[in-house]
Structure 1
Amino acid sequence: MGQILYLNVGKPELKNWEGKAEQSAIGKKGVKQALLTQNSFEGDEVAATEYHGGPDRAVCFYPFEHYQQWSAEFDKKIETLTFGENISALGMKEADVYIGDIYRLGEATIQVSQGRIPCSKISKNNGIDLLLKRVVQTGYTGYFFRVLEDGIVNGDAEIVLLERKQDDFSILMANEILFHRRNDRKAIESLIGTEGLAVAWKEEVTKLLMKKN
């Protein structure tokens, strides 16, 4: 049992990064309470639909511990919320959470569906060119949940593990396969068959197998 540290929602807005204007919903803001439904928190929208949004990516989570690590590594204070997450907590890093895990979040029930495939907006929003590269290298990407049961979520809601479907593929292990073990056919085939894995991830790793044929 744990507790989320904050709850954030936001809509796309125009950002000016390095002299170029881009639409992004990475700049979310804290709220005290929000209704969580199948597609998202009420009041939350996305801009980059290739990386965010939809039933398998309804809730974005980023582990709180990583902010301290990135701040130390880049010798720059990295503020929370700058990865565009909806929620965060302690003790739920990528190595600790497994695909298919089911949690109670406030009144809602959610399930871990996939790791986050990060984009360049993480680097741009934090003003650190190498940040995206390091996120991919470490696998410290954060991850997504799908919603199994709608419900109200408060900003200090408890997040409680209800069921672990399997213990072979943590988010960190899945990230390792997708980013760094793209020729490991056996691991890829096993990952594809993991209960609860998002459709987009199944399609992505299936492409790796097809390239090898």
Structure 2
Amino acid sequence: MTEISNPQIKYLSIGLPRAVAYDTDKEMVTGICKDAVEEVLLTKNGFVGDGVADLKHHGGLDRAVCIYPYEHYAQWEQEFGGPLAAATFGENVTTINMLERDVCIGDIYQLGDAVIQVTQSRVPCSTINKRTNLPLIMKRMVETGYTGYLCRVLEEGKVRSDSSIKLLQAHPKQVSILFSNQIYFHSAAHDLEGANRVLAVDELADIWREDLMKRLKRIVSE
């Protein structure tokens, strides 16, 4: 079991979908742009005052909370040569000391007065490229596995920007977000054992389970 030392909230952010300009003359409706808040109620459906535009690929009970590690910001800023705004990736909670290599699917955390459970990796989409005007950043997030991750809410409650985060229960199967990213994005086709290890976690988000199983069925039938 990987010991997580002193996890913290760096930014707490929410935002409803809005029209956002990108490139020179294009516009998209997206919930990726979040604003900092001092306190907000977290419900089973997510933070009050937060929302997504693309309900097919975002949101839902298994994806109620989006978390992104603050440590990655320094790497992206160095790679792409410029500063990134807070909550650039549309995350609700930007954390310190909660990297993908240390956080496992099924882990349960106290987040302020709420209790959350990690369900899956975040699957980056092209909205990140458009929002940042960095055409390669989504590709790099997938390559590195620095995607962030999503959670369901087990107990509703208020969360403050200075709330503590505490690991309540580490999942016994110890399937990290980074490992699941490696399987999901890169090696499912030739690592059936690894894919089955991810699928063996009962707490895995349904959408990830269904997608991974579909891919495995295609591989077996080929």
- TM-score for both structures, normalised by structure 2: 0.93
Once the two structures are TM-superposed, the CA of residue 156 in structure 1 deviates from its matched residue by 1.0
Could you say which residue in structure 2 is the equivalent of 1:190?
A: 197
Q: Which runs of 5+ in 2 are unaligned?
A: 1-5
**Contact kept? 2:33, 2:87, Cα under 8 Å:** yes
Superimposed CA distance per residue, residues 13-37 of structure 1 (whole angstroms, 9 cap, x where no aligned partner) = 0112122221101111011111101
Could you say which residue in structure 2 is the equivalent of 1:203?
A: 210
**Contact kept? 1:99, 1:195, Cα under 8 Å:** no
Once the two structures are TM-superposed, the CA of residue 165 in structure 1 deviates from its matched residue by 1.3
Could you say which residue in structure 1 is the equivalent of 2:59?
A: 53
Distance in 2 (alpha carbons) for counterparts of 1:205 and 1:177: 9
Once the two structures are TM-superposed, the CA of residue 195 in structure 1 deviates from its matched residue by 2.9
Moved more, 196-205 or 167-176: 167-176
Could you say which residue in structure 1 is the equivalent of 2:18?
A: 13
Once the two structures are TM-superposed, the CA of residue 89 in structure 1 deviates from its matched residue by 1.5
- TM-score for both structures, normalised by structure 1: 0.97
- Over aligned residue pairs, what C-alpha RMSD do you find? 1.1
Once the two structures are TM-superposed, the CA of residue 167 in structure 1 deviates from its matched residue by 4.4
Once the two structures are TM-superposed, the CA of residue 169 in structure 1 deviates from its matched residue by 1.2
Q: Aligned residues, how many? A: 213
Inter-CA distance 193–167: structure 2 relative to 1 (3 Å threshold): closer
**Contact kept? 1:67, 1:79, Cα under 8 Å:** no
Once the two structures are TM-superposed, the CA of residue 77 in structure 1 deviates from its matched residue by 1.4
Give runs of ≥4 in structure 1 deviating > 3 Å. Answer: none
- 141, 147, 161: which one aligns with 1:141: 147
Inter-CA distance 2–186: structure 2 relative to 1 (3 Å threshold): closer
Amino acid at match of 2:175: F
Alignment of 1:1-213 (within 5 A): 1-18=6-23, 19-183=25-189, 184-212=191-219, 213=221
Q: Which runs of 5+ in 1 are unaligned?
A: none
Once the two structures are TM-superposed, the CA of residue 166 in structure 1 deviates from its matched residue by 2.5
Distance in 2 (alpha carbons) for counterparts of 1:157 and 1:51: 29
Superimposed CA distance per residue, residues 157-202 of structure 1 (whole angstroms, 9 cap, x where no aligned partner) = 1010000112431000001000000212221122111131100110
